[in-house]
Structure 1
Amino acid sequence: MTRVVVCGTKFGQVYLSALDGTGPFRLTGVMARGSIRSAAYAAAYRVPLLTDPDQVAEVADLACVVVRSGVVGGQGTELAEALLTRGVHVLQEHPMHPDELTGCLRAARAAPAVHHVNTLYAHLEPVRRFIDTARRLCALQQPLYVDAACSVHVAYALFDILGRALGALRPWAFTATAPGTPFTCLAGTIGGVPLTLRVQNQIAPNDPDAHLHLLHRITIGTEGGGLTLVNTHGPIVWSPRMYVGRDAQDRFATDAEHLRLPSATLIGPGEAPTFHEIVTRLWPDGVRRALSDLRGAVDSGQDPLRQGQYNLTLSRLWVDATTALGRPELLVQDVPRPLSVAELT
C-alpha cells in the first residue's frame, strides 16, 4: 500500500513535499477543484489532476484529505466518506466534529477501510521527544498540574499532545475563567490532572491560518519538577523543583545533594529549527510518520474503531473546550514583521 493521492493543495503542499522523493509512499495524483494552483502542483509533480472520488480509487490505495472538515466550514468530511466508501484508506487533517468522525468510522468499517485523523504536531520529532519524556516522568511521579498555552487554531492538536503525554484524556472539565484579548483562560482538568490553559481565541478572516502568537507551549509539573515544551518545535527544558531545607540550627541546608542539580536542563537539541526547516523538513517528516501509522494499521488488519475511539474522545473533549472558550474574536491583520534575536541584543 504505497500509492497516495493528496486532496487539497493549500496546506496540502506540506503533504506533497512529504511525498516528493524516495520512500515507501508514492504520489499518484492530486485531487482538487481544478484551480490554477492545483493544476500547477499536479504538473510539477507529474501526476494527474483528479476531480472525482472514483478517479482516486483507480490510482491510489490511500488518500490524504487536507481539506477543511465541516466543523470549520469545509467539505473535507464528505470527501473522506466518499473515498472510504470506495475502499480508499484516509488520513484526514484535524479538527473533526465527533458527528463527522462517527460517519467516517462507519463508512470505514463498512468498506472495509481505515480512517485516521492527523493532528500532525503530535508526530513531529520535538513533540514526540516531549511525549516520551513526559510518559517516563509520569511513571516516576504523579503529574500535579498542566500549564499550557496555544492558539485556537491548534487547540485540537494540543489536547492530542496532552492525551499522549499523560496517557489519558478522561476525565476532563473546562471553565472559562478570564475572557480577554488576546488570550482567554480556561481552568479545569485533562486526564484527571489540573489544567490551566491560555488560548489565543482570535481568527483573522482575511488570513485565517496565520497571525498566531504561538502554536503550543506546555509544562507538565510533578513533585520533582516541571517538563516544558517551550514551543511546538522545541526546545524541551527540565526544571527540577527548588527546595532548600533547614539544618539543625535553622539555617539553609546548602550541602543537600539535590541543590547541586542545574536549575534547568535542555533535553535534546538546545536550538529550535528555523521556520524554513519546520516547513520543508519537520512538517513533511510528521506527515510521513502519520502515513506510516496508517499503513501499519492497514497491514495489521486493525479494526478502524480501535484508533477511532481515541479520536472520538479527543473530538468530544475539543468540542467541550471550544464551547467553554466561546466564539473567536475576529481580526483584520496586516502581515507581521518577525524580529530576529540580533535586534534584541
Structure 2
Amino acid sequence: MSAPAPFRVLVCGTNFGRFYAEAAHRRPGYALAGILSRGSASSRAYARTLGVPYYTDLDDLPAGIHAACVAVSSSISGGQGTELAKALMDRDLHVLQEHPVHLTELTDHLKHARRRGVQYRLNTHYPRVAPVRAFIDAARRLVARQRPLFVDAATPVHLMHPLVDILGQALGTLRPWRFADPAPLPADIGPQPFRSLHGVFAGVPLTLRVHHQLDPSDRDNHALHWHRISLGTEGGVLTLADTHGPVLWSPRLHISRDADRRFVLDGPGTGRLGLGTTSVVGNTGTFRTLFSDLWPEAIGSALDGLREAAQRGGDALRTGQYELAVCRIWTDLAARLGPPEIVRPAVPRPLAVSDIFPVPEQLLDHSFAGPAAGQTPAVARAGTEPLLPDTHSCT
C-alpha cells in the first residue's frame, strides 16, 4: 500500500518564516512547496539551499499546493500579512498565520475561510513549544485535583497574546474573565519598565505584570524576559520559569504544631517533610537548539492541527471561537494598558551562568541532593501517575 501524498505547504516570509520552512521541510507527511517573499537575494538563496521553488507573485503559484503559512507581519504590526492571508484563501489554500492579528481581522479571516470552504488557523506558537506544553499538561492535571487559588504571570507586551492562550489551555477554560485597569504610576518614582494589573481569568485571581516597553524594529531582542507563570493551589505552586523552561513544582510548606504550638519535625505524620522543596522538571537547552529544534517542532505541531482541520472540513468560524475569545481578551488587556513606551536600547550583553557563579560548586548547595555541578537537573517523577489525560479542549 502506497504512502499518502504529502501535505504541500507554501511558506510566506523568510524571517520567522524560516522556522515554518524548516518544519514543513523536515516533518514526515509534509512537503515544502516553495517560498514566497518580496524578492531579496537572501530569500532567493535560502530557497536554493532548501531546493524548493521561489516565488514573488501569487499569480505564479502552481496547482497542487494545499496550504500556506503566513509568517509576514499583519497590519497591526505594519505588514501585508492580512491581505496576503485573504488572497491565499481566495486561491483555495488553507492558511496558518503567525500572530498577532487584530480581532477584527481575525473575525474577517474566519468568515472568509467559511465562505471559501477552507480552513484558517491563527498560530500563537508558544503554547506548542515543548516546555510550555509540559507546563500546560501539568497544570491540567493539577487543576483536576485541586482548585486553583491564583495565577501570577509576567510577559513582554508583544507576547501577551500567546500568554492568554497559554493560560486558557492551562486552566482548561477562559471564562469568566474580567480585569481592572492598571494602577497609575506616581510621577515622582521615575521610569518603570513594568505595568501591573489585577483581574480574574477562568474564575481564578490573576496578577499580570507586563514589560510595557517595545522596540518596534526589534521586539524579541529587547524583551527583559519572556513568559513566566505561577499557578498556585493549596498543594503547591507550579511554575513555568521561562517560555523555554524549565518547569518547577514547589509543594506547599505546611508543618504540624504540637500542643505548645511548636513545629513537629519528626515522628508520625511528618512524612511530607521529605518532599523536595522545589523539583525541576525537564532540561533546558541552548538558544541554538531552541531555533534548530524547539521552534520548528512547535510549528510542526501547528501544521498538524491545520492539516487535521483540512481533512475534517467544517465551518472555520465555528471552530475558531476559542481563538476569537483569546484575541478578545488580549484586546481588552492591551486597551487597558495603553500603548507601550517606545524604546531603542543599545545591544545588550547577555551573561553566562559562569559570570554569576564563577566557582562551579556554587551552582548547587551540597546539603541538598542534586546532579553533579554544571549539569542541568531533570527530576524523575516521584512515583505518581498523570492526574489527567493530556487533552486541551477549552471554552
TM-score of the pair, normalised by structure 2: 0.83
Alpha-carbon separation, structure 1, partners of 2:273 and 2:61? 62
Computing the radius of gyration over CA atoms, which structure comes out larger, 1 or 2? 2
Q: 1:178 to 1:221 in 2, by over 3 A?
A: farther
Does the 8 Å contact 1:206/1:333 carry over to 2? no
Partner SS for 2:153: strand
Q: 1:178 to 1:286 in 2, by over 3 A?
A: farther
1:124 corresponds to which letter in structure 2? V
Does the 8 Å contact 1:178/1:186 carry over to 2? no
2:94 corresponds to which letter in structure 1? H
Q: Which moved more, 1:282-291 or 1:7-16?
A: 7-16
Q: Which moved more, 1:160-169 or 1:256-265?
A: 256-265
Matched, 1:47 2:52: yes
- Mapping of 1:179-258 within 5 angstroms? 179=185, 181-255=192-266, 256-258=270-272
Does the 8 Å contact 2:119/2:316 carry over to 1? yes
Q: Which residue number in structure 1 is paired with residue 339 of structure 2?
A: 327
Q: Which residue number in structure 1 is paired with residue 363 of structure 2?
A: none
Q: Which residue number in structure 1 is paired with residue 183 of structure 2?
A: 177
Encode CA deviations 1:44-97: one digit per residue, 9 max, x unaligned. Answer: 222222223344462410100001112222221111111112210000001111
Partner SS for 2:63: helix
Q: Which residue number in structure 1 is paired with residue 139 of structure 2?
A: 134
2:46 corresponds to which letter in structure 1? Y
Alpha-carbon separation, structure 2, partners of 1:251 and 1:53? 75
Q: Which moved more, 1:192-201 or 1:257-266?
A: 257-266
Which runs of 5 or more residues in structure 2 are unaligned? 1-5, 186-190, 358-395
Does the 8 Å contact 2:27/2:300 carry over to 1? no
2:128 corresponds to which letter in structure 1? H
TM-score of the pair, normalised by structure 1: 0.95
Q: 1:302 to 1:257 in 2, by over 3 A?
A: farther
Q: 1:258 to 1:178 in 2, by over 3 A?
A: farther
Matched, 1:304 2:310: no
Alpha-carbon separation, structure 1, partners of 2:120 and 2:306? 8
Q: CA deviation at 1:259?
A: 2.1
Matched, 1:290 2:302: yes
Alpha-carbon separation, structure 2, partners of 1:341 and 1:178? 36
Alpha-carbon separation, structure 2, partners of 1:55 and 1:321? 41
**Alpha carbon RMSD of aligned pairs, Å?**
1.6
Aligned identity (percent) is 48
Q: 2:8 aligns with which of 3, 10, 25?
A: 3
Partner SS for 1:244: coil
Q: Which residue number in structure 1 is paired with residue 378 of structure 2?
A: none
Report the count of equivalent residues. Answer: 343
Encode CA deviations 1:210-262: one digit per residue, 9 max, x unaligned. Answer: 21111100000011111000001111111111112311232212232322211
Alpha-carbon separation, structure 1, partners of 2:144 and 2:70? 36
Does the 8 Å contact 1:178/1:185 carry over to 2? no
1:215 corresponds to which letter in structure 2? W
1:165 corresponds to which letter in structure 2? A
Q: 2:278 aligns with which of 264, 271, 283?
A: 264
Alpha-carbon separation, structure 2, partners of 1:22 and 1:16? 10
2:273 corresponds to which letter in structure 1? L
Q: CA deviation at 1:149?
A: 0.7
Q: CA deviation at 1:178?
A: 5.3
Q: Which moved more, 1:220-229 or 1:39-48?
A: 39-48
Does the 8 Å contact 1:57/1:87 carry over to 2? no
Q: 1:107 to 1:57 in 2, by over 3 A?
A: farther
